Structure 1
Amino acid sequence: MIDSVRRTLKLIVLSIRDMLVSAGPVALIAVGVLVAAYWWLDPQPPRTVSLATGPAGSAYAEFGRRYAQALARSGIEVQQQASDGSLANLQALREGRADVAFVRGGSADPVADGEAGITSLGALFYEPIWVFYRQDMLPAPAADTARRAASSKGARAAVEPTPPVPLVTLPQLKGLRVNIDQPGSGVPEMLQRLLQANALDGDTLVLSQLAPPAAAEALQAGLIDAMVLVTAPESPVVGQLLRAPGIALMDVAQAGAYVRRFPFLQAITLPRGVVDLAADIPPQDVDLLSTTTSLLTREDTHPALRQLFAQAAQGLHSEAGWFNRARDFPNTRTSELPVSPEGDRAINGTPPFWQRYLPFWASNLLERMWLVIGGLIVLLLPLSRVVPPLYTFRVRRRVFRWYARLREIEAKVDEGRGERNALLDELDELDRLANQTTVPLAHAEELYALRNNIHAVRKRLLAKRAA
Structure 2
Amino acid sequence: MADSRPTAPAQPIRHTVRLALESLRDMLASAGPVLLLVFALLAGAYWWLNPQPPRTVTLATGPAGSAYAEFGQRYAQALARNGIRVKLLTTEGTAANLQALREGQADVAFVRGGSDDMSADADAGITSLGALFYEPMWVFYRPAAFKAPMPKGHHSRHPVLVPLTSLTQLHGLRINVDQPGSGVPDLVRRLLEANGLDADAIKAHDLPPEDAAKALQAGRLDAMVLLTAPESPVVQQLLRAPGIALADLPQADALARRFPFLRTVTLPRGMVDLARDLPPNDIGLLAATTALLTSEDTHPALRQLFAQTAQKLHGGAGWFNGARDFPNTRTSELPVSPEGDRAINGTPSFWQRYLPFWASNLLDRMWLVIGGLIVLLLPISRVVPPLYTYRVRQRVFRWYARLREVEARMEAGDAQHTELLNELDELDRVASQIAVPLAHADELYALRNNIDSTRKRLLARNGSIPQLQSS
1:444 alignment partner, one of 441, 444, 447: 441
1:288 matched to 2:285: yes
- Residue aligned with 1:325, SS: coil
Matched residue SS, 1:172: helix
CA contact (8 A) 2:128 2:337 kept: yes
Q: Deviations over 1:372-415 (max 9, x none)?
A: 11111111111111111000000000000011121222233344
Opposite residue 441 of structure 1, the aligned amino acid is L
- Among 68, 82, 86, the residue aligned to 2:90: 82
Structure 1: 5+ residue stretches without partners? 153-160
* Equivalent in 370, 374, 385 of residue 388 of structure 1: 385
Q: TM-score, normalised by structure 2?
A: 0.93
Which moves more between the two structures, 21-30 or 378-387? 378-387
For the 8 Å contact 2:147–2:159, the answer to whether it is kept is: no
Choose from 5, 10, 22 the match for 2:18: 10
Deviations 1:318-343 (A, max 9, x none): 11110000111111111111111111
Identity of aligned residues (%): 70
Q: CA deviation at 1:162?
A: 9.8
Instruction: Give the equivalent residue in structure 2 for 1:366.
Output: 363
Residue 304, structure 1, aligned to residue 301, structure 2: yes
Match of 1:53 among 47, 61, 76: 61
1:337-363 residue CA offsets vs partner (Å, 9 max, x unmatched): 111111111111111121232222212
> Aligned partners of 1:203 and 1:423: how far apart in 2?
119
Q: Give the Cα–Cα distance (whole angstroms) in 1 for the partners of residues 205 and 162 of structure 2.
A: 24
For 1:256-267, list aligned pairs within 5 A: 256-267=253-264
**Counterpart of 2:52 in structure 1: which amino acid?**
Q
Opposite residue 149 of structure 1, the aligned amino acid is H
Instruction: Name the CA distance, whole Å, in 1 between partners of 2:379 and 2:108.
Output: 45
1:94 maps onto 2:99 in alignment: no
Could you tell me which amino acid in structure 2 is paired with residue 366 of structure 1? L
Q: Distance in 2 between matches of 1:56 and 1:259?
A: 29
Deviations 1:132-189 (A, max 9, x none): 11112223266xx57x93878xxxxxxxx89732222211211211111111111001
Q: 1:151 to 1:227 in 2, by over 3 A?
A: closer
| Shift in Å, 1:131 | 0.8
Q: Within 5 Å, which residues of 2 pair with 1:67-146? A: 67-140=75-148, 145=151
Offset from partner CA, 1:263-293 (integer Å, 9 cap, x none): 2111111111111111111111111110011
The aligned runs of 1:306-455 (5 Å cut-off) are 306-455=303-452
Q: 1:225 to 1:464 in 2, by over 3 A?
A: same
Asked if structure 1 preserves the Cα contact closer than 8 Å seen for 2:147 and 2:160, the reply is: no
Quick check: 1:149 aligned with 2:154?
Answer: yes
Q: CA deviation at 1:197?
A: 1.5
RMSD: 1.8
Whether contact under 8 Å (1:90, 1:108) holds in the other structure is: no
Q: Distance in 1 between matches of 2:463 and 2:103?
A: 101
2:36 corresponds in structure 1 to 28
Instruction: Pick the aligned partner of 1:253 from 235, 250, 254.
Output: 250
Amino acid at match of 2:214: E
Deviation at 1:419, TM superposition (A): 2.6
Partner letter of residue 207 of structure 2?
L
Secondary structure (helix, strand or coil) at the match of 1:278 reads coil
SS in 2 for 1:184: helix
**CA–CA separation in structure 2 for the residues paired with 1:198 and 1:326:** 35
1:176-217 Cα deviation digits (max 9, x unpaired): 111111111110011111111222112221111111111111
CA 1:172–1:386 in 2, change beyond 3 Å: closer, same or farther? same
Distance in 2, matches of 1:202 and 1:422, equals 117
Among 56, 74, 77, the alignment partner of 1:66 is: 74
1:414 to 1:108, Cα distance in 2 relative to 1, 3 A:
farther
Q: 1:428 to 1:388 in 2, by over 3 A?
A: same
Uncovered stretches (5+) of structure 2, i.e. residues with no partner = 1-8, 465-471
Partner of residue 224, structure 1: 221
Partners of 1:38 and 1:71 in 2: CA distance: 23
Q: Which has the higher mean CA deviation after the structures are superposed, 235-244 or 12-21? A: 235-244
Query: 1: distance between equivalents of 2:79 and 2:155?
Result: 68
Q: How far, CA to CA, are the matches of 2:347 and 2:22 in structure 1? A: 49
Contact 1:141 1:165 in 2 (8 A): no
Q: Normalised by the size of structure 1, how large is the TM-score?
A: 0.94
In structure 2, the CA distance between the partners of 1:150 and 1:298, relative to structure 1 (3 Å rule), is closer
Kindly tell me the number of residue pairs found equivalent between the two proteins.
456
Compared CA separation, residues 227 and 151, structure 1 to 2 (3 A):
closer
Over 3 Å counting, the alpha-carbon distance change for 1:172 and 1:423 in structure 2 is same
SS at match of 1:149: coil
